[in-house]
């Protein structure tokens, strides 16, 4: 066996050991490919997830060995229900792959959850939803941002087969439609072309006021704020 082949085997064995210990791993994009690990590129291209490619029909023993349980065992029905809701909220273009999807919000999840239950939201619902989101984040089915209240599908969804996606499309059709997301950070605005920018020079007939001779409508003195300014400060 050549030295190159030995090094390749050692490289693969090292990364598989890491995956067995920690589950799917987020690494730099320039990390070499690993046999048997699927690469899920982050939406912004800043990182790559290494996800184990599971054999067809893998049982619980294999999944546990790879640190990739099918779904969190605590409250499995409730957790699976929240995963289905997040798929409906984050997989907006269902003609495309599920990964990476788009960002969903806690408000969307709560709305769909209440619609599924066919009743107004109860005080205990939020506790169940947050608990399920955290379990799904811990098992890499979701990427849940607790502080922002936002969620994306996790890297493990890249392993879903065409049959899985077909089933999920049908499931999403039976769920209530989520409201539009209101994200904590909106995407940057489109850049304005040079032709749309106003000219920096003043028109000849409208001269700028002199800096040494303010008009009667000059700004109030900083030492004597008006009543409106006092109200604004409050």
Model confidence at 228, in pLDDT bands (50, 70, 90)?
very low
Q: Where are the alpha helices (DSSP H) in the chain?
A: 3-22, 60-65, 76-90, 106-117, 123-138, 162-173, 227-233
Is the domain defined by 76-173 classed in CATH 1.10.10?
A: yes
Per DSSP, 57 falls in state T
Predicted confidence (pLDDT) per residue in 129-172, tens digit: 999 999 999 999 999 999 999 999 999 999 999 999 999 999 99
User: Residue 63's CB: how many other CB atoms inside 10 A?
Assistant: 14
Of 140, 150, 148, 106, nearest in space to 125 by CA: 106
Q: Where are the domains of the chain?
A: 3-57, 76-173
pLDDT at 2: 81
CB proximity list for 200: less than 8 A, separation 6 or greater: none
Tokens 């008009």 map to which residue?
215
Q: pLDDT digits over 78-102, tens only?
A: 999 999 999 999 999 999 999 999 9
| Spatial separation of the C-alpha atoms in residues 11 and 101, rounded to whole Å | 31
- pTM tops 0.85, yes or no: no
Among candidate residues 20, 80, 87, the one with its CA nearest the CA of residue 50? 20
- Residue pair 131/73 in contact (Cβ under 8 Å)? The answer is no
Which band of pLDDT confidence, cut at 50, 70 and 90, is reported for residue 187? low
Long-range contacts of range 125-133, CB-CB < 8 Å, 24 or more positions apart?
A: 128/75, 128/78, 128/82, 129/82, 131/74, 131/75, 131/78, 132/72, 132/75, 132/78, 132/79, 132/81, 132/82, 132/83, 133/82, 133/86, 133/106, 133/109
Q: What is the DSSP letter of 158?
A: G
């Amino acid at each position: 066996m050549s030295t190159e082949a030995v090094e390749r085997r050692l490289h693969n064995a090292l990364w598989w050991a890491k995956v067995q210990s920690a589950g799917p791993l987020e690494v730099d994009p320039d990390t070499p490919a690993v046999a048997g690990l699927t690469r899920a590129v982050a939406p912004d291209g800043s990182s790559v997830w290494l996800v184990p490619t599971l054999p067809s029909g893998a049982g619980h023993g294999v999944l546990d060995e790879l640190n990739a349980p099918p779904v969190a065992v605590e409250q499995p029905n409730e957790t699976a229900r929240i995963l289905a809701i997040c798929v409906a909220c984050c997989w907006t273009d269902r003609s495309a792959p599920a990964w990476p999807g788009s960002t969903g919000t806690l408000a969307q999840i709560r709305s769909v959850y209440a619609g599924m239950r066919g009743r107004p939201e109860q005080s205990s619902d939020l506790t169940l939803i947050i608990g399920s989101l955290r379990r799904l984040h811990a098992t890499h089915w979701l990427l849940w941002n607790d502080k922002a209240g936002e969620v994306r599908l996790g890297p493990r969804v890249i392993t879903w087969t065409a049959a899985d996606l077909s089933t999920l499309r049908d499931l999403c059709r039976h769920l209530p439609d989520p409201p539009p997301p209101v994200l904590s950070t909106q995407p940057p605005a489109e850049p304005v072309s040079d032709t749309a920018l106003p000219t920096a020079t003043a028109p000849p007939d409208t001269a700028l006021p002199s800096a040494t001779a303010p008009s009667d409508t000059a700004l109030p003195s900083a030492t004597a704020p008006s009543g409106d300014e006092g109200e604004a400060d409050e």
